[in-house]
């Protein structure tokens, strides 16, 4: 039992330092130019240990992205179906607080250095969680046109990117209010 706890702690630590190392390197260059050797040297982990957890730097990035998408999906599932403004604001504020707490990582994931496929997955996830699909009719899309909804979601994501890029110059609560005022008032979710 104690051995398992040590292994779990060691595993979490190893994954954490590898993730941190990847983000440090992605701050200065694209993932395609990051080698496993420099990733491991930066993390002070040997390559054998790296390969025990990941197949390559893209696998490491994918796992980070998957964790982020899972968290967003769970948070959005709490948002959908809410009719009370206060409840919607609470969920939005929780999401933006997560972005504040993970701003360094999310800034990279949502930037030009990040993976465009991840950003597309984020959009797709938001659409799916809100019941929007490319073939849906206005009646099944909460009475709004697909184009309007896409505009609202992409505008929200663009606002998030701008917020992260400019050093989080508004609080999580202010961002939640901005998104609510720009989106929820116009779209009856």
**Interacting residues of 84 by C-beta distance below 8 A, sequence separation 6+:** none
Confidence (pLDDT) at 58: 94
**Interacting residues of 124 by C-beta distance below 8 A, sequence separation 6+:** none
Alpha carbon 150 to its chain's center: 18
Q: What pTM was computed for the model?
A: 0.76
Would the pLDDT of 188 be above 60? Answer: no
What CATH number does the domain located at 1-54 have?
Answer: 1.10.10.60
Confidence (pLDDT) at 79: 65
Would the pLDDT of 160 be above 80? Answer: yes
Confidence (pLDDT) at 93: 85
Q: In whole angstroms, how large is the CA radius of gyration of the chain?
A: 19
Alpha carbon 131 to its chain's center: 19
Q: Are 92 and 176 in contact (CB under 8 A)?
A: yes
What band does 134 get if pLDDT is binned at 50, 70 and 90?
Answer: low
Instruction: Please give the full DSSP string across 20-68, using - where no structure is assigned.
Output: HHHHHHHTTS-GGG--HHHHHHHHT--HHHHHHH-SSHHHHHHHHHHHH
Tens of pLDDT along 3-14? 555 568 889 999
| Other Cβ atoms within 10 Å of 6 Cβ, number | 10
What band does 153 get if pLDDT is binned at 50, 70 and 90?
Answer: confident
Confidence (pLDDT) at 73: 85
Q: Are 111 and 102 in contact (CB under 8 A)?
A: no
User: What residue segments make up the domains of the chain, in order of their start?
Assistant: 1-54, 61-189
Confidence (pLDDT) at 17: 97
82 against 71, higher pLDDT: 71
Would the pLDDT of 55 be above 90? Answer: yes
State the average pLDDT for the chain: 81
Would the pLDDT of 162 be above 80? Answer: yes
């Amino acid at each position: 039992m104690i051995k398992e706890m040590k292994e779990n702690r060691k595993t979490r630590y190893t994954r954490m330092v590898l993730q941190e190392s990847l983000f440090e390197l992605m701050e200065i260059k694209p993932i395609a130019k990051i080698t496993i050797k420099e990733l491991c040297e930066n993390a002070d982990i040997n390559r054998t240990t790296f390969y025990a957890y990941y197949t390559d730097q893209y696998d490491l990035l994918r796992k980070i992205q998957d964790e982020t998408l899972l968290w967003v999906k769970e948070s959005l599932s709490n948002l959908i179906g809410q009719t009370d403004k206060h409840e919607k604001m609470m969920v939005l504020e929780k999401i933006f607080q997560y972005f504040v707490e993970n701003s360094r990582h999310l800034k990279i994931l949502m930037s030009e250095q990040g993976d465009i496929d991840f950003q597309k997955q984020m959009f797709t996830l938001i659409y799916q969680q809100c019941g929007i699909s490319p073939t849906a009719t206005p009646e099944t899309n909460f009475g709004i046109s697909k184009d309007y909804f896409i505009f609202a979601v992409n505008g929200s994501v663009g606002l998030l990117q701008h917020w992260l890029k400019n050093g989080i110059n508004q609080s999580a609560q202010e961002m939640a209010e901005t998104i609510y005022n720009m989106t929820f008032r116009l779209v009856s979710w």
